[in-house]
Structures are given as C-alpha cells and as structure tokens.
Amino acid sequence: MGIQITPSILNADLAALGAEVGRIPSADWVHVDVMDNHFVPNLTLGLPVIESLKAHTDLPIDAHLMIEDPDRWAPAYAEAGCGSVTFHVEAAKAPVRLAREIRNQGARASMGLKPATPIEPYEDLLGELDMLLIMTVEPGFGGQKFLDLCLPKIRRARAMMDRHGVQTWLQIDGGISLDTIERCVEAGADVFVAGSAVYSASDPDAMVADLRARAESATP
C-alpha cells in the first residue's frame, strides 16, 4: 500500500457536495467529518448526507466520527456503505468491540487520537485496527495550523506497528499541505487528509496530484 490522499469535504461547498467530490477524481478516498457539537465544538454532516453523497461518487467514503457515543452510532456508518469508519478512542467505551463490529459490517475500522492523547496505552489494540488516525490539529474546525509536536507520536506509532508486524494504515489529519506532508511521511505516515489545501486550490485535483507527488518523493 502506497501513499493515499484523502481530501476532506469540510472545506468544500457544502451546498454542492456531489459536484465538489467530482472535482477530485484522482483522490483515493473522500473524507467526511461528522461532528456533533458535543465531542467537538462544531456541527457538521451526518448519516443522511453520507447516504446521499454515495449516489454521486464512486470514491470510497472515509467517515471520521468526532461524536459522543460512537459505540452506538459508528456501526450505522459502516452499514450505510462507508469504506472506512473512524471513531475516537477518547469517546469510545469499548473500542475493541466497536472495531470488530465495524469490521463485521464490512468497513475498515479506524481509531482516532487527539493531539494530546498518547499512543502507548493502545499499543495492544493495533491488531484490531485497519487504520490509526493521529490528529495534528485540535479536532473541530478546518484550516488550522499543523502541530509539529505530534511528529514524535507519529514516529512512535509507526515503530509500534513495525514491532508488531501489523498492516495498519497510519493516517494524519490536520494542517496537511505541500509544506507539511513530507515531515509526516518521514515520520511514518502513509494516508493523508487534506481539506483547505485541496479545496482552496484553483484546481483541487491538481493539488491532490501535487500532494501525492510530494509525499512519494519523501517516502524512504
């Protein structure tokens, strides 16, 4: 598995999501941020919008659930056809059970960590996950500045994955741009969420290609 670029539609024109997703045909996934105004201080899209969006794109949907009680709600996103569903470990009551339930619904199970959440307590969970998401901004709003302080955690996560021999993807979300993506690749990440960098560009798909090229040039 090589570098994957996953544009976030949080910074797209939400009134024309079908057309906006059509502007990124070379993306690997469409990243959809689901926020409930409880776990994070913002309110965004939910399950009905994702179900509607699926009719307008062949790209797989990467649902990032920044919500309370993901144990209750996350399986429904997998059942609705999302290719990957990320829950936050800070909100999950039974992360192993939830990851297995997401997988049983046919989606890839992913666990997200806020910037201040350490990876070490969850080392034994890596084998239960298809992807680990490390946030490099505080979740809730797009357009924030990348937090370099998260780079050591990315390195530690990659070292753990290598030590256990797991095939878990390592996704980074927050402040990803042409200026920051190389640092994340060098730290061990391979899946990148980019929102404002993609949708503020005059040609979003060209930016997807530029991000991929920049990341691949930094791959060991």
State the catalytic residues: 33, 173
CA distance 181 to 171: 11
Mark out the alpha helices in the chain (DSSP H runs): 17-21, 47-53, 70-79, 95-104, 151-164, 181-187, 196-199, 204-218
User: Taking a C-beta distance cutoff of 8 angstroms, is the pair 187, 154 a contact?
Assistant: yes
Residue 102 one-letter amino acid:
I
- Pick the closest to residue 51 from 63, 42, 39 (CA basis): 63
The two structure tokens encoding residue 64: 């990032």
Angstrom distance (rounded) from CA 33 to CA 69: 16
> Within 10 A of 179 (CB to CB), how many other CB atoms are there?
11
CA 18 to chain centroid: 20
Minimal CA–CA distance to 29: which of 148, 147, 125, 173?
A: 173
